[in-house]
Amino acid sequence: MRRAQKHNDDEAEVDMTPMLDIVFIMLIFFIVTTSFVKESGIELSRPSNAPDNQDKAESTIPILFVIDSNDVITLDGREIDFRAVGANVERKKAKNPKSAVIVNAHPDSSTDTLVKVVDAARRAGVSQVNVATSAVTTR
């Protein structure tokens, strides 16, 4: 009696070449179809240290907001809410229309609070909003 011999020579192999071709084609497709979006940021202008050539009669007192490390916003030594920034800017601009806004932010304050104050000042009609991070004294 003869036994049937099993052939171990005919092992099944998987050809990976077509799968790799498909992966590379998909990679090229996704790279080509990706749209690159330039994200917009906020423009901030920093005050310069150069002396101004303006007359003293034209000099204006800036509207100074101070943000401390706990995100507390103060104006003229009194604490205000970020929702009241716009109204305070409008009130100060009525007295002195050429005033600029300076936001003195503590380095440990959150960026969210800084952006809220800058946005509220711009919505109130101030075109020049400056950001400072060094110690600025209030008058």
d(CA 41, CA 15) in angstroms, rounded, equals 50
HSE (side-chain half, CA atoms, 13 Å) at 50: 5
Domains (range + CATH), the chain: 63-132 (3.30.420.270)
- pLDDT higher than 90, residue 26: yes
Please check the confidence at residue 117 and state whether its pLDDT lies above 60: yes
Residue 49 DSSP one-character state: S
pTM: 0.55
The confidence band for 7, taking pLDDT boundaries of 50, 70 and 90, is low
For 4, list phi and psi in degrees, rounded to 5: -75, 130
With cut-offs at 50, 70 and 90, classify the pLDDT of residue 23. Answer: very high
pLDDT in tens, 53-76: 554 445 578 888 899 888 899 988
